Structure 1
Amino acid sequence: MIQGVQSRTNPWEVLADKVLKGETISTEEGLAVLRSDDHELLSLLQAAFRVRYHFFGKKVKLNMIFNAKSGLCPENCGYCSQSIVSDAPIEKYTLLKKDVLVAGAREAMERKAGTYCIVASGRGPTDREVEEVCSAVREIKQELGMKICACLGILKEEQARRLKDAGVDRYNHNLNTSASHHTNITTSHTYEDRVGTVEKVKKAGISPCSGCIVGMGESDEQIMEMAYELRRLDADSIPVNFLHAIPGTPLEGMDELDPRRCLRVLALFRFVCPPKEIRISGGREVNLGSLQPLALYPANALFVGDYLTTEGQVADQDHQMIRDLGFEIEEFAG
């Protein structure tokens, strides 16, 4: 009875009803989410949680990133501390050896991560680098049996097949921003290059992981473009990053996000891509701050540990945050 009243009088509950019926929200409805007032935030999150709960209950998936190759990248992505246009003082090294990659997987298991993400900087991997990753993946699968995500840049079809044969479950290649905003962020590769890699991964039978970075000067309409494109690509996992403007990068000093804005973005992605894994990713500690727990009402996954060149929240604190919410870690789930 109470739920029925809410559905008739609360526009966000009406939107949740629509999504749960299998309907796609309109651009106007999505923009209304992004532009909603602060006093509506809790009711918006409750509606988004209804959708999240329908597909995932109170379970939270944990992923861990391992920086397998740092810096030395020829691309000019404005947000990235590893790019050729960055002066950020980061550690730089070539692809780490197999035993180091395997040791990282053991650490991920200890942190209750369901998916171990092997990430390498660069435009795309060499064949030798692909083989090194494949060798590590085979050993991890044999020893630990955990799910593996690779993120190695722009792929060739044959490389995607080799990764699939080695046991890679998921491949991450973010769109990062919308097609209409792409050249404002990078010009060393095209938006179509990114979409093409996602399509090659899908063709090889690997689960596609693709997401975005919010806070890089994009408009509300461009955030909608990203959400709709990820829905069209049928990405199984969608990491939503919030710009951490690292000193030394071209986007240094950009600061257009606040925690409430980030929560609205997560709610939007839940409404546009209702059955998909929505993961709170890079920049969550900096941009969500004390409101981090609320992000798990629309999202159902997060990264534990450090990111590529920035520190993350201590894993034990993430575990405690999840318990405090009354949610449950879905251990070893990809």
Structure 2
Amino acid sequence: MEQSTCLDWKGYSRKAISKEVLTHEEAMKVLQAPDDELLLVMNEAFRVRKHFFGKKVKLNMIINAKSGLCPEDCGYCSQSIVSNAPVSKYTMLDKETLLAGAREAMNRKAGTYCIVASGRGPTEKELGQVIEAVKEIRETMPLKICACLGILSDEQATRLKDSGVHRYNHNLNTSRNHYEAITTTHTYDQRIQTVDTVKRAGMSPCAGVIIGMGESDEEIVEMAFALRNLDADSIPINFLNAIPGTPLEDKGRTPAMKALRVLALFRFICPDKEIRVAGGREVNLRTLQPLSLYAANSLFVGDYLTTPGQEITTDHQMIEDLGFEIELCAL
């Protein structure tokens, strides 16, 4: 009789639940698991997800508060200075438009409203506009606010925190060794420094990655361990949506089953953190999107910065069909 070569995937969930760190070799085996074992891997990832988060799903909504006009050369981004993509370009949205976006987030059952602006970092005027809007949102709506405005000083971070911003997003995007292949106008260390600035100010740190930019499996593992060491509370996992007109326009999509293995890996390595299925999920996961929530406990609803998202009722139906529950905001 042929002997099964399946790994003991249950051992992975046991280690994760006890917050024992996987070895590098164990982490690599998740990414290289054969397709025939994927459901076994996802079952153990779900065991971890359920232990820490039950069957609840956190919803987040983005507003592109300032579009284009960015001096940075990030190769994946349609808003960067090296992009020829035909995207809208406008300065920081006014307070009423930001408030309208917050109301729409409520309509979509999102618990977190993400104010995202292109650029290296906010000007004094831009920071003031965001702070003014955040204060009114916090006074009138039960929403958590996440800001993503680029590199911050300690003083800027403190002002955002004092205005009512709960969380600040600044993604690592890729591994340290791969970083200069993606961006040269700022460094990996500056990304780390900004997350540390956010933590010192008392905001919850959000930092994630983009999968599919030419990185190796070893570098994906490195990213997961880097975010564990950074102690990011929320980890958005983006899958490259290669936009025509950007330097990475010719990159192929990440196969859906590989994307699921990536989500399982991050759940095993960062077991008690919010793992969010983020940009590119519709393009890369396609019909396997529901399986992503067996590892992840959070997702974006609605459109992304310059690309469309899935129709909101489809997301709500997907969550209901899984027998999961939308987690409403509890401030």
TM-score (norm 2): 0.97
1:231 CA drift (Å): 0.5
Q: Which residue of 2 aligns with 1:62?
A: 59
1:256 CA drift (Å): 4.8
Taking a change above 3 Å as real, the CA distance of residues 46 and 36 of structure 1, as seen in their structure-2 partners, is same
For residue 60 of structure 1, give the secondary structure of its aligned residue in structure 2: strand
- Specify the code of the residue in structure 2 equivalent to 1:173: H
| 2:133 is aligned with 1:141 | no
Q: 1:211·1:240 contact (CA, 8 Å) conserved in 2? A: yes
Q: 1:109·1:332 contact (CA, 8 Å) conserved in 2? A: no
Any idea what the Cα deviations from partners look like across 1:313-332, whole Å, max 9, x if unmatched? 01111000000000000022
| 2:243 is aligned with 1:246 | yes
**Aligned pair partner of 1:216 in 213, 217, 235:** 213
- Percent identity over the alignment is 66
- Specify the code of the residue in structure 1 equivalent to 2:193: G
State the alpha-carbon separation in 2 of the partners of residues 207 and 18 from structure 1.
25
Could you list the structure 1 runs, at least 4 aligned residues long, displaced by more than 4 angstroms after superposition.
Answer: none
**Aligned pair partner of 2:313 in 301, 312, 316:** 316
- Specify the code of the residue in structure 1 equivalent to 2:58: K
Q: Which residue of 2 aligns with 1:261?
A: 258
State the alpha-carbon separation in 2 of the partners of residues 100 and 283 from structure 1.
25
Q: Which residue of 2 aligns with 1:82?
A: 79
Q: 2:253·2:283 contact (CA, 8 Å) conserved in 1? A: no
1:244 CA drift (Å): 0.2
State the alpha-carbon separation in 2 of the partners of residues 44 and 141 from structure 1.
40
**Aligned pair partner of 1:14 in 11, 21, 29:** 11
Any idea what the Cα deviations from partners look like across 1:175-212, whole Å, max 9, x if unmatched? 00010100000100000111110000000000000000
Aligned positions of 1:1-334 closer than 5 A: 11-333=8-330
Structure 2 unaligned blocks of 5 or more: 1-5
Q: 2:42·2:294 contact (CA, 8 Å) conserved in 1? A: yes
State the alpha-carbon separation in 1 of the partners of residues 287 and 253 from structure 2.
17
For residue 148 of structure 1, give the secondary structure of its aligned residue in structure 2: strand
For residue 61 of structure 2, give the secondary structure of its aligned residue in structure 1: strand
Any idea what the Cα deviations from partners look like across 1:76-130, whole Å, max 9, x if unmatched? 0000000000000001000000111011000000000000000000011011111
State the alpha-carbon separation in 2 of the partners of residues 70 and 128 from structure 1.
16
Q: 2:208·2:236 contact (CA, 8 Å) conserved in 1? A: yes
Q: 1:119·1:150 contact (CA, 8 Å) conserved in 2? A: yes
State the alpha-carbon separation in 1 of the partners of residues 146 and 193 from structure 2.
18
Q: 1:242·1:284 contact (CA, 8 Å) conserved in 2? A: yes
State the alpha-carbon separation in 1 of the partners of residues 280 and 318 from structure 2.
17
Taking a change above 3 Å as real, the CA distance of residues 111 and 256 of structure 1, as seen in their structure-2 partners, is closer
- Specify the code of the residue in structure 2 equivalent to 1:32: K
- Specify the code of the residue in structure 2 equivalent to 1:206: M
TM-score (norm 1): 0.96
Q: 2:253·2:284 contact (CA, 8 Å) conserved in 1? A: no
- Specify the code of the residue in structure 1 equivalent to 2:230: L
Q: 1:68·1:119 contact (CA, 8 Å) conserved in 2? A: yes
Q: 1:115·1:333 contact (CA, 8 Å) conserved in 2? A: no
- Specify the code of the residue in structure 2 equivalent to 1:116: Y
State the alpha-carbon separation in 1 of the partners of residues 119 and 157 from structure 2.
16
Q: 2:267·2:296 contact (CA, 8 Å) conserved in 1? A: yes
For residue 236 of structure 2, give the secondary structure of its aligned residue in structure 1: strand
For residue 171 of structure 1, give the secondary structure of its aligned residue in structure 2: strand
Q: Which residue of 2 aligns with 1:4?
A: none
- Specify the code of the residue in structure 1 equivalent to 2:176: A
State the alpha-carbon separation in 2 of the partners of residues 19 and 193 from structure 1.
30
1:333 CA drift (Å): 5.0
State the alpha-carbon separation in 2 of the partners of residues 23 and 73 from structure 1.
41
State the alpha-carbon separation in 1 of the partners of residues 182 and 165 from structure 2.
29
The number of residues matched between the two structures is 326
State the alpha-carbon separation in 2 of the partners of residues 329 and 275 from structure 1.
18
State the alpha-carbon separation in 2 of the partners of residues 159 and 32 from structure 1.
42
Any idea what the Cα deviations from partners look like across 1:125-179, whole Å, max 9, x if unmatched? 0111111100000000001031000000011110000000000000000000010
1:10 CA drift (Å): 5.1
Q: 2:173·2:209 contact (CA, 8 Å) conserved in 1? A: yes
